[in-house]
Structure 1
Amino acid sequence: MTTTPAPDQSAASEQERWLTPGVRGIGSASLLADVGHEIPTALLPSLLTSTLGAPAAALGAIEGVSDALAGAARFGGGVLADDPARRRTVAVGGYATTAVLGAAIGGATSVWQVGVLRAAAWTARGLRVPARNALLADIVPAKAYGRAYGFERMMDNLGAIFGPLLALGLVAWLGVQWAIGLSVIPGLLAAAAIIYAIRHTPTPTRRDKVPLRIRVRPVLRGELGRLMGAVAAFEVGNVAATLLILRATELLTPDHGTKTATTIALGLYTAYNIAATVASVPAGRLADRLGPRGPLLVLAAGVAAFATAYGLFAAGGTVVAVLAIPFVLAGVGIGAVETAQHSAVATLAPEDLRGSAFGLLATVQSLGNLAASAVAGILWSAVSPTAAFAYLAAWMLLALGGLLTAVRRS
């Protein structure tokens, strides 16, 4: 005679199957790494302008070059991560190198040193991303991809909240340079967490090394190719969150003054990050529950949330409660989109192409975000903020159409 486990026991057993030590290790690595690199990121403007006396143009040049190198490194990291054994080395090396180089910025005595260290740290960070995502797919069954990637995204978003807060405390206690230097501690703890995760990952059965080959065409075939096309449309409309903050600040300044408007806008941005954190795991759970098309459906819902948010930003509004709506919608959207993108790629990519697929995804994300911010900034200055957000909303609608087409064909 068999007995049926109680519902709460089944739920607990199911959670244990996907929330393994390996998944917890990768999630912890994302949290700690984000805390580690958010500290120098938050303090870089002050270090360059106040401590080293550099102009604002230097900050823009350093960040632009670093972001470009990170995008290129993500593509190269995907090629490296196709090999199950090699992806482990790349992941550990990427986390450790990013931590050391990022913290070394605190000891820089000239602008060129800051530029070199920042660019090198961002290159290492880009290299590790496809390896980490491929490792996570190695650990969990396909039916739990959504929850696993949702958990990783939640931990990453928590790091984005805690990192700047820790930076503020360290600056008040020790100053800018020491605060940046101490960012090595959470960074190295992230490397330790990824080692812990690897030790709880099944050892690759394949003994021979996978040759290093750039494989773009196979990734762009079939359902995976259609997904990448829709993701590209989304990312070309996925503007940097700093423009959302700027929009809120400009709308609130006439009634509240510049200082208060800036404070409120930063509070709204915090709400955006909290919404992204809270939405990630439920989005992944829903993607798993909806079956094979679940990631595409959740991705479409996230894109629709972005389209609505951008429409509200285009319309404008000077009431704080009204402005909070598009910030929360965009936060929920990014939590759902990032989770569903990773889950969909893990589901659709053949195992021997998984690294390349994640590398191409990360490259599309990086280049698309750059294009979105650049074009929106030009439209903002040349026409109006309304035109900029209308342009972004149009790309979201195009991406939504592509996703719905992919859902029907899948």
Structure 2
Amino acid sequence: MTSPATQPDTSPRVEAGSGRWLTRGVAGIGTASLLADVGHEIPTALLPSLLTVTLGAPAAALGLIEGVSDGLAGTARLVGGALADDPGRRRRVAVGGYTSTAALGALTGAATAVWQVGVLRAGAWAARGLRVPARNALLADVVAPTVYGRAYGFERMMDNLGAIFGPLLALGLVAAIGVRAAIGLSVIPGLLAAAAIVYAIHHAPKAEPRPRVPLRIRVRPVLAAGLGPLMAAVAAFEVGNVAATLLILRATDLLRPGHGQERATQLALALYILYNIAATLASLPAGRLADRLGPHGAVRVLTAGVGLFAAAYAGFAFAGANVAFLALPFAAAGLAIGCVETAQHTAVASLAPPDIRGSAFGLLATVQAAGNVAASAIAGAIWTAVSAPAAFGYLAGWMLLALGGLGYAGRSPGVGSPTRART
């Protein structure tokens, strides 16, 4: 009989440091991302119908609600990053964020007034913003640094799968039980996501107790820890990272003359599904490649993804009314976002000192949110004032600037260096 002293240690701490990438913690977080995105996509897909058809609100109400919600989510990500610096607190924020998002999103289906929809939607997105840095920092807790790429690639793959299944499930639920009930049922995958996060936390190394410190949003320490050049390059990329709805609009406009409005819309949505499939397929291989390339691997994969985006935007600028031709930039953009999101998270997890890793992820998420709003708003204005090719040319220009920034970041001191704790 083996004595306790010689039995293998199967504690979560050993699992996280063993070099295996698909640990129970990683599986739990990936499952949470899949289920949460399914739960999130149902009310998102049905919100326009609820507002404009069921409640009789104008389209402007939808734009105002989404704009306010996006702004709150961006602010919440920065605050969530500060909360996530403490390992114990990041776990509570993750569980609370997933649970609150599920409950508030589902309650939208019971709203009887437009203002109620606005309050519930804004609350759900604020909770979603708070949980993002906590989840990303928690993922770094449950896996060894040598396999960060695969762990973050797996999480992004599962999230992208949710973006595929969520709208499809929404369509089926609407046909079976109606808009309000379908939104209400979105609480089920949302709460299952919270349960998956609890499972991941159970298999994470025990959080070391820390003295209580005042909550601080620490931007300067993050930039000073070697992340400044990388964040600048990421900011340039995000200002050119337009919302996928503009890609769908471009395809619809090009296809409408030859196919009619309804058929063009269907084809554009099919191309968007192709985009999400490409992103799903690219995420895990991108992470595997980042791990294999060594210290600078994440920056190199990020550079490849940005280059793919530049090519995709050039394709959208010069595309014709041909479905097969349009499929190329949609697929390239999907592959690009799979590479970029995985590489961004991997790079931040690798570079940020553990005691400010939450703040680093909070800053990354805030840069992403602010850049996306600017990209869509400015590109839309150029599209309206000049032309669609001009708008996509503008976006491609930001990709080229980001490539230059990444080239500098890859040569900067600290980039690719092992993560170390701050004293």
**TM-score (norm: length of structure 1):** 0.95
Give unpaired runs (5+ residues) of structure 2: 1-16, 416-423
Verify: 1:112 aligned to 2:115, yes or no: yes
Q: Which runs of structure 2 are paired with 1:98-177 in the superposition (5 Å)?
A: 98-177=101-180
Equivalent residue, structure 2, for 1:78: 81
How far did 1:214 drift? 1.6
Superimposed CA distance per residue, residues 149-197 of structure 1 (whole angstroms, 9 cap, x where no aligned partner) = 0000000000000000100111011000000000000000000000000
Whole-angstrom distance in 2 between the partners of 1:310 and 1:224: 27
How far did 1:16 drift? 7.8
How far did 1:380 drift? 0.3
Whole-angstrom distance in 2 between the partners of 1:32 and 1:231: 28
Verify: 1:217 aligned to 2:235, yes or no: no
Percent identical pairs in the alignment equals: 75
16 and 181 in structure 1: CA distance in 2 versus 1, 3 angstrom threshold:
farther
CA contact (8 A) 2:39 2:102 kept: yes
CA contact (8 A) 1:21 1:200 kept: yes
Verify: 1:256 aligned to 2:259, yes or no: yes
CA contact (8 A) 1:83 1:209 kept: no
Equivalent residue, structure 1, for 2:328: 325
Verify: 1:293 aligned to 2:296, yes or no: yes
Whole-angstrom distance in 2 between the partners of 1:214 and 1:62: 27
Matched AA of 1:234: F
Q: CA RMSD in A?
A: 1.1
Matched AA of 2:244: A
Verify: 1:407 aligned to 2:410, yes or no: yes
How far did 1:253 drift? 1.1
Equivalent residue, structure 2, for 1:233: 236
Match of 1:242 among 234, 245, 249: 245
CA contact (8 A) 1:247 1:313 kept: yes
Matched AA of 1:48: L
396 and 261 in structure 1: CA distance in 2 versus 1, 3 angstrom threshold:
same
Superimposed CA distance per residue, residues 202-261 of structure 1 (whole angstroms, 9 cap, x where no aligned partner) = 011234234311211111125311110000000000000000000011111111111111
Give unpaired runs (5+ residues) of structure 1: 1-13
CA contact (8 A) 1:223 1:406 kept: no
403 and 16 in structure 1: CA distance in 2 versus 1, 3 angstrom threshold:
closer
Equivalent residue, structure 2, for 1:281: 284
Equivalent residue, structure 1, for 2:352: 349
Equivalent residue, structure 1, for 2:190: 187
Equivalent residue, structure 2, for 1:10: none
Aligned residues: 397
Whole-angstrom distance in 2 between the partners of 1:323 and 1:171: 30
**TM-score (norm: length of structure 2):** 0.93
After alignment, is 254-263 or 353-362 more displaced? 254-263
Superimposed CA distance per residue, residues 14-53 of structure 1 (whole angstroms, 9 cap, x where no aligned partner) = 9981101100000000000000010000000000011000
15 and 311 in structure 1: CA distance in 2 versus 1, 3 angstrom threshold:
farther
CA contact (8 A) 1:273 1:331 kept: yes
Matched AA of 1:379: I
Equivalent residue, structure 1, for 2:12: none
Whole-angstrom distance in 2 between the partners of 1:297 and 1:64: 34
How far did 1:316 drift? 2.1
Whole-angstrom distance in 2 between the partners of 1:214 and 1:127: 13
